């Protein structure tokens, strides 16, 4: 859970990937008084940000050190690696965690087989595939066989 102190300026959060998830989180964080930087390779991706978004946008590659330095990753409280590519997310998350010592790093991982690799480095994981499986199982309820 993201916790911020309303007396202060909030958290400094960098989001890599400005798709539906990245832009939605960026809009919410910005609306709640946090300093937000969103990085994406495609300038048109930033059109998903709301009119009320008060953060900054950077056109760049999340895997390039220059981009991370421009985003001031070393000052981030939280880095969210939310691109549509597991390899980009793991590389960005690991660099943020290991090289820049960001205290909290969260990465989206599509392939459940990659979760262990991410977890070994202290990166928090969000896996849409496993979340969807859990929700479908809940929706279907117990339909014979072993309960999970």
| CA 6 to chain centroid | 22
pLDDT of 53 = 96
Domains of the chain (ranges; CATH) run 12-140 (3.40.50.720)
Q: pTM of the entire structure?
A: 0.86
Q: Could you report the per-residue pLDDT of 53-105, keeping only the tens digit for each? A: 999 999 999 999 999 999 999 999 999 999 999 999 999 999 999 999 999 99
């Amino acid at each position: 859970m993201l916790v911020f102190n309303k007396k202060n300026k909030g958290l400094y959060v960098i989001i890599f990937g400005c798709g539906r998830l990245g832009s939605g989180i960026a809009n919410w964080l910005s609306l709640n008084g946090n300093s937000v930087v969103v990085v994406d390779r495609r300038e048109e991706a930033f059109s998903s940000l709301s009119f009320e978004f008060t953060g900054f946008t950077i056109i760049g590659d999340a895997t390039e050190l220059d981009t991370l330095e421009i985003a001031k990753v070393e000052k981030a409280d939280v880095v969210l690696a939310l691109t549509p590519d597991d390899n980009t997310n793991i590389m960005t998350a690991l660099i943020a965690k290991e090289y820049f010592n960001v205290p909290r790093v969260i990465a989206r991982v599509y392939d459940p087989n990659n979760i262990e690799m991410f977890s070994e480095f202290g990166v928090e994981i969000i896996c849409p595939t496993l979340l969807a499986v859990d929700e479908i199982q809940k929706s279907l309820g117990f339909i014979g066989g072993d309960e999970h």
